[in-house]
Amino acid sequence: MFETLPVNPKRAWAGLYEMTPDHHPVLGPVPDVPGFYLANGFSGHGVMHAPATGRILSDLILSGETDLIEASLLHLSRFAENKMIEETAVL
Ligand SMILES: Cc1cc2nc3c(=O)[nH]c(=O)nc-3n(C[C@H](O)[C@H](O)[C@H](O)COP(=O)(O)OP(=O)(O)OC[C@H]3O[C@@H](n4cnc5c(N)ncnc54)[C@H](O)[C@@H]3O)c2cc1C
């Protein structure tokens, strides 16, 4: 049914979700690369998380810690250490 509908490419666009293996962002410093911080992999909720992300990242850059969340849970190393966060509501 849908395959027979006409499509005007000028009125169509696509956006790809940037997914991580546990569907949560990578947030914080990169080990062994001083001064390089990550804030990516937000899947389908990066706009909603943007204000908190800015606050957390500025805290981490300025003082190395934040009282907003347990930021170590979102560290890049969680994948290599098999400490991924279980997520049941994937968006
Ligand atoms: C279809 C869709 C629907 C979504 N709906 C929602 C929603 O309802 N609510 C919500 O909160 N979130 C939603 N999201 C997710 C949200 O859009 C993203 O999580 C958010 O935009 C990510 O922001 P960002 O700044 O991390 O990355 P991006 O917005 O992807 O920005 C990265 C920028 O870096 C640029 N770039 C890439 N490589 C280079 C390079 N080598 N040099 C220079 N620049 C580079 C890119 O051009 C881009 O401008 C949706 C995403 C998609 C795809």
Does some domain include residue 32?
Answer: yes
Does some domain include residue 91?
Answer: no
Does some domain include residue 34?
Answer: yes
Does some domain include residue 1?
Answer: no
Three-class SS string for 20-84?
CCCCCCEEEECCCCCCCEEEECCHHHHHHHHHHHHHHHHHHHHHCCCCCCCHHHHCHHHCCCCCC
pLDDT, tens digit (0-9, with 9 covering 90-100), for 20-69 = 999 999 999 999 999 999 999 998 899 999 999 999 999 999 999 999 99
**Domains: count for the chain:** 1
Ligand 1 within 6 A of 19 CB? Answer: no
pLDDT at 1 over 90: no
Ligand 1 within 6 A of 45 CB? Answer: yes
CA of 75 relative to ligand 1 center, distance in Å: 20
Does some domain include residue 66?
Answer: yes
The reported pTM is: 0.86
With a CB cutoff of 8 Å and minimum separation 6, the contacts of 61 are: 37
